[in-house]
Chain A
Amino acid sequence: MQFIISRYNPQIDKDPYNQTFELDNTLLSADNMLLDALHLLREQDPSLAYRSSCQEGVCGSDGMNVNGRNRLSCITPLSDLPQKVIIKPMPGLPIIKDLIIDMDLFYQQYKDVEPFLQSEPLDLQHEHLQSPEERAKLDGSYECILCGCCSTSCPSFWWNPDQFAGPAALLAASRFVIDSRDIQTIDRLKDLDSPTQTFRCRHIQNCTDSCPKGLNPSRAIQELKSTMVKEI
């Protein structure tokens, strides 16, 4: 297989450039993932930089742009890819080195939507109760692993990553807006009511297309808009 990988070391290189690697198919087995191939390539060139941790699609650290689409390399089967694979860092955020990007802005946007439950003061004798139906509403919004595949494939986020929260943060905001135990719903909605926040989403659907967990941030943002229209 041929791998064309974007390389960039800001201490040496002026601009990113592509480097071509060849990997003998005999070194690969049918159930190998892209991350396995990257490990083999790093044996060829130990300076190749990428993130990985759990290696099973849970930590979300190995997001990268593979043949034009953001994916997690650890759950992308090589059998799904053509013989020529073009790998770039996820777009829209500064490159630290090779496939590693600086996700500070992404995390800041996530932090700004206050992604934690703000409920009545905890009574140690009594849990915050929720009916099975209310709990079921959270399905599809709490499973996000913050890999950044969605936000870095969103043109609205590329244009203004410091203003627009991005799909991941808005999905998290939506998760707490629909949570029956949260008491800050109106304040949350008011904070997000801005042409540079929720209403900057144009529903291009790149986020939904690229989510490795199969979530639908675009629909969550649409529901967030509908809730705003009804509630504030």
Chain B
Amino acid sequence: MIEFNVKLKNLSGKKAHVWQRISALYLLLYIPFLAWTVLQQPKFHTLYALAHNLAEPIFSLASLIALGFILVHAWVGLRDIMIDYLPRKNLALWLTIYHSLLALLLINSLWLVVTLFGTL
């Protein structure tokens, strides 16, 4: 079960540091790959046609991993900014809200992926 109640004392230092760097490195490689793949596409008139063409396994898998890493990178980056700047009194509450928002984004993104590619 996902732990939504974020406690400051349970937050990781080293693990977050490592994941942020791994995700940054992956996105550094993925973004040019994404640009190159999109530029290779012919003109499409519908989103369905574009999605159909992009649904090849390598690109889909790379994009799913990138989506996960974007969320990881965003979590660590904004989490650290919140720890620095937000008043400590309500910090755990704000971190929990932010954590929940990212979890919702993940679920929503997965739903979008299934909707777009599941029927192809």
Contacts and interface: CB of A to CB of B under 8 A. Distances in A.
Contacts of A200: 80, 83-84
Given A159-B85, A200-B83, A232 B14 contact: yes
B91 to A, nearest CB: 10
Nearest to A159: B84
A70 B98 CA distance: 37
A69 interface: no
A229 B17 contact: yes
Contacts, number: 39
Q: How large is the interface on B (under 10, 10 to 19, 20 to 34, 35 or more residues)?
A: 10 to 19
Contacts of B8: 196
Contact of B17 (A156, A159, A199): A199
Contacts of B1: none
B14 A199 contact: yes
Interface of A: 156, 159-160, 192-200, 225, 228-229, 232
A195 B18 contact: no
Contacts of B83: 195-196, 200
A43 B49 CA distance: 85
B18 A198 contact: no
B13 interface: yes
A160 B80 CA distance: 13
26 contacts: A159-B84, A192-B13, A193-B12, A193-B13, A193-B14, A195-B11, A195-B12, A195-B16, A195-B79, A195-B80, A195-B83, A198-B13, A199-B13, A199-B16, A199-B17, A199-B80, A200-B80, A200-B83, A200-B84, A225-B14, A228-B13, A228-B17, A229-B14, A229-B17, A229-B18, A232-B14
Contacts of A195: 11-13, 16, 79-80, 83
Interface centre among B11, B16, B84, by most A CB within 10 Å?
B84
Contacts of B13: 192-195, 197-199, 228
A91 B100 CA distance: 37
Contacts of B12: 193, 195
Interface string B52-87: 000000000000000000000000000110011100
Contacts of A159: 84-85
A193 B83 CA distance: 15
Contacts of B79: 195
A225 B17 contact: yes
A50 B2 CA distance: 54
A225 B88 CA distance: 25
B112 to A, nearest CB: 31
Q: Which 3 A-B pairs have the closest CB atoms?
A: A199-B13, A193-B13, A194-B13
